[in-house]
Amino acid sequence: MDRYRVKPGRRVHLRRWDPDDTSAFDGSKEDAQDRLLKLTQELEELQELLYAEDRHRLLVVLQGMDTAGKDGTIRHVFEGVNPLGVKVASFKVPTQEELEHDFLWRVHKQTPARGEITIFNRSHYEDVLVVRVHELVQPDVWRRRYAQINDFERMLVEAGTTILKFFLHISKDEQRKRLQARLDEPKDRWKFNVGDLKERKLWPAYMQAYEDAVSKTSTESAPWYIVPANAKWYRNLVIGTVIVKTLRGLKMRYPEPTENLDRIVIT
């Protein structure tokens, strides 16, 4: 999966990243589903170990255009994990109280505690994406935020948080198909937002904003992965593989009991 990891200092040009790519898996779609099932089962075990050891934290950041599959990723990759140790945080339009603070204030409160996995469905990166594209703040404000985000994430890492950031990369044509599918399926129409069409018209501006954000904030300790997401099964497989591999690398162990339990007999 290292082919999708953005090296620190690398300038990202999204047109060079193929959203249709499925080259890291040479089996069929059915084989991939079997592989994902095994990954989710292992993730369930690793998450329980993370919770029991109570030492590490994992923060998973999901970003992407509308219909890129953030909800689907959470639903399929994290299927079966214990909800006691996993939470999902979404960041919508800031409240008045949140606007009275710095842009990271509401984010810091949602970061994982020891033993937890937290998934950001959208994140603090909205403050260098949406606010830039819609000109909600002056350019000198959002430009400063890249360094502030890097400092924030470095602090989290030094406190024991492992950070994985995924940009779900779909094509504009694939988004068109997914939006149309929502309109065509009555039970999915509730997902359709007319405002998504206005955002779609800003596609080039969003691509530029994503390129700058990923280029400036992919670090050794908090890397970005650009995930080909036109094929949903492949998106899930890539993200699941990266997360499981990362958790394995923590070399976690179940804690030893605080006292000798060998002579205890339950009657």
71-127 pLDDT, tens per residue?
999 999 998 898 889 999 999 889 999 999 999 999 999 999 999 999 999 999 999
pLDDT for position 142: 97
The pTM for the full model equals 0.94
- 3-class secondary-structure state, position 88: strand
The dihedral region occupied by 113, where left means phi > 0, alpha psi between -120 and 50, and beta the remainder, is beta
Task: Give the domain ranges of the chain.
Answer: 2-249
pLDDT for position 258: 77
**Hey, what amino acid is at 64?**
G
- 3-class secondary-structure state, position 24: coil
pLDDT band at 38 (very low <50, low <70, confident <90, very high): very high
Q: What are the residues facing 63 on neighbouring strands?
A: 167
pLDDT tens digits for range 207-245:
999 999 999 999 999 999 999 999 999 999 999 999 999
pLDDT tens digits for range 155-187:
999 999 999 999 999 999 999 999 999 999 989
Return the DSSP state at 127: G
* C-alpha radius of gyration, the chain, whole number: 20
The CATH fold assigned to 2-249 is: Rossmann fold (3.40.50)
pLDDT band at 27 (very low <50, low <70, confident <90, very high): confident
**Hey, what amino acid is at 186?**
P
